[in-house]
Amino acid sequence: MEYMMIRKNNLSLGIALAFAFSASNAVHAVTVSNADFRNVEIRHSGMCIDLTGGNTANFSGFSQWTCGQSNSNQRLEFVERGEGFYSIKTKTSQKCLEVANSDSANGARIQQLTCADASVNQQWSLQDMNNGWFKLKNRATGKCLDVAGAYTEKGSEFHQWACLADHPNQEFRFIFDENVANDPSGTITVQAADFVSQGGSFDDNQQSPVSIYSVAGQSAINYINSGDFVDYNVDIDRAGKYLVTFNVGTAITSNVMIELLVLENGSWVSYAQASVPAYGWDNFTELSAANEVSLAAGTQKLRIHALGSNDWQWNLASFKLEWQGEPTDPVDPPLLDSDGDGVLDVNDLCPNTPANQPVNQDGCAQSQLDDDNDGVSNDVDQCPNTPPGVTVDNTGCEPNSPGVIDVNTADANLPSFVSFNNTTPLGKRWEKVESLSDEFEFWNGAKWIKTNWNYGNTPVNMLNKNSGVSDGNLWIQATLNADSPNQWFETSRVRSVAKIKFPMYTESRIKVANISAYSTFWLNNGDINNRDEIDIIEINPVPTCNCQPDFPWKMNSQYFIAKNGSTERNHGNSDNRTDLSDENTLQGVLWTDDYHVFGAWWKDEHTVQFYLNGEPVNKVTTQQPFTLEQFVIWDLWSQDSSWVGGLPQKTDLLNDNNNTMKVDWIRTWKLVDE
């Protein structure tokens, strides 16, 4: 878990509400305090707006990252431009955040450029969303700053999108607001909706254990069941004993309890509990716990937990910590785990571990170790015992010099990599899985079905007529329905009848459609709450958004594991220009210029190694285990968003030379004992 200092008790002091009235209704705006700089936190992720990589060049983009008061890439100056608009200048570059080219389309890129007083695409108004939260609305386009895809991972990019209600990936607030005095009363009020993480195992058919809703002009949390919890990062300015008061409501008459826990030395310790009387779900009542909690000064990690045994528990609007006096005994400062890998900073030899990577007792992930000192990290090293002084390629193995790697010459009876660098484990062999292999001479209904399913918020309409087999290829074609304003992108999906589980390898020879859409090859089983998914490719070769310049060479590989409503996700992306050896005949060849062979070796419950044109590229290692057998799927779809790359022009769907994804073959093997 990332730790950040949030001045919960000062947030309301960093903004002042100003009301401008029109003839028909009141429009709420937000003005900025007199602080020189502040961080801007995103509501859905708890991270901050960040100048990506600290790049000071014009046209550099913005992403979300763990909040840091000393991180100048996140320190923003709001420069007043009149009529309630501000330019947003970064401390690192002294340049301004803008909508690229004043593009009014959804998904338009957010970038920095030299500040110009007259550039209205650099001007933003702050639209009040209550309780210190606001939207940032662009003056030129009338659209809002938005975290693409509502992703919560570090590094997720910003774009603009239509301003929408109940979209916390469009809502912001000021933190680390310099020049604002501390609350002299010693009372810290934490809004319940400001949690940084949540959890719970009770299945109430909600997408997440805890939900945020609005009641009587304030935000609160509900759908709290027995065992559910929410975590908060709270800045304690003054060490001491604190009285805990919950602003809570319930309609359940028995077995309803709430408690506060503190993270101490890596373990959660309970300090304050209270039984909640049944005054009504939204009739919030201040309820003080019997016990006080001693807290050290600094950032503290606090948890609110549903302790009662009844299935349904309580709703919570806020809780308060009121200073009561000096601690009876000295309180040790909190022990931090800044990179959230489970190893405290004082013991962590690798302090910047990427999210969701398992670590050893020293806090080091395989991506941070190189046991044989060959310059290739353990997570991608296919030859982990290279002798000193030996030259290796990007897989950590001696190159097959002067051999040429031409995947089209590989032995079709084995995984293609066996022909060039056979890393099959000793004592094992590859056994063909015929139910998941096909040269596509004809449509085989015993192997494949059309499971058409439409993605939300897209013009996609999947139909049986848009896929088939001919001329030695499985094909999926995107065609135009000019009569439908909402579902004009007609396409299809093909899925295997059989399922498979590790250890296995599958690869498919594909030529992607030459339109702004994802041509995909992936494994999947389950639903939003219980799902395993391995995306081998999601390729958009010609994005229209002017925001994904590397897409013509990127595989966009990734995985998802969803268990009990909690989703784990990580990328294992690969680039055709840089991740293939110089001997590979398809190095740097555009996806649309030729067929390419994409593969995945699903090694075990935690590991997937991706392959491209006969060579291993990137690998992903999961925290949670894969537990489900998975289907093989191909489909072709698009969406008006920057993370997909933008929609194609409708006229692109009229060109049969470009609008068709072609699959020459698929071959699948199980790894078995010799």
| Identity of the residue numbered 449 | I
Can 507 be counted among the known catalytic residues?
A: no
Query: Please, which residues have CB within 8 angstroms of residue 618's CB and are 6 or more apart in sequence?
Result: 380, 557, 572, 573, 574, 579, 610
- The rounded distance, in Å, linking the Cα atoms of 333 and 263 is 11
The answer to whether the CB of 15 falls within 8 A of the CB of 33 is yes
Can 538 be counted among the known catalytic residues?
A: yes
- The rounded distance, in Å, linking the Cα atoms of 404 and 406 is 6
- The rounded distance, in Å, linking the Cα atoms of 528 and 438 is 30
The answer to whether the CB of 264 falls within 8 A of the CB of 233 is no
Residues, the chain, total? 674
- The rounded distance, in Å, linking the Cα atoms of 493 and 463 is 8
**DSSP code, position 606:** S
Query: Please, which residues have CB within 8 angstroms of residue 70's CB and are 6 or more apart in sequence?
Result: none
Q: Which of 2, 533, 583, 674 does the annotation list as catalytic?
A: 533
Q: Which of 538, 568, 629, 674 does the annotation list as catalytic?
A: 538
User: b/e per residue, 230-252, with b = 16+ CB within 10 A?
Assistant: bbbbbbbeebbbbbbbbbbbbeb
- The rounded distance, in Å, linking the Cα atoms of 150 and 418 is 40
- The rounded distance, in Å, linking the Cα atoms of 121 and 74 is 20
Residue 74 burial (CB < 10 Å; 0-12/13-18/19+)? buried
- The rounded distance, in Å, linking the Cα atoms of 136 and 49 is 12
User: What is the 3 state secondary structure string of 337-405?
Assistant: CCCCCCCCHHHCCCCCCCCCCCECCCCCEHHHCCCCCCCCCCCCCCCCCCCCCCCCCCCCCCCCCCCCE
CB atoms within 10 A of CB 50: 26
| Identity of the residue numbered 166 | D
Query: Please, which residues have CB within 8 angstroms of residue 20's CB and are 6 or more apart in sequence?
Result: 26, 27, 29, 84
- The rounded distance, in Å, linking the Cα atoms of 25 and 4 is 39
CB atoms within 10 A of CB 416: 25
User: b/e per residue, 279-311, with b = 16+ CB within 10 A?
Assistant: eebeebeebebeebbbbbeebbbbbbbbbbebe
CB atoms within 10 A of CB 658: 16
Tell me which residues are annotated as active site: 533, 538
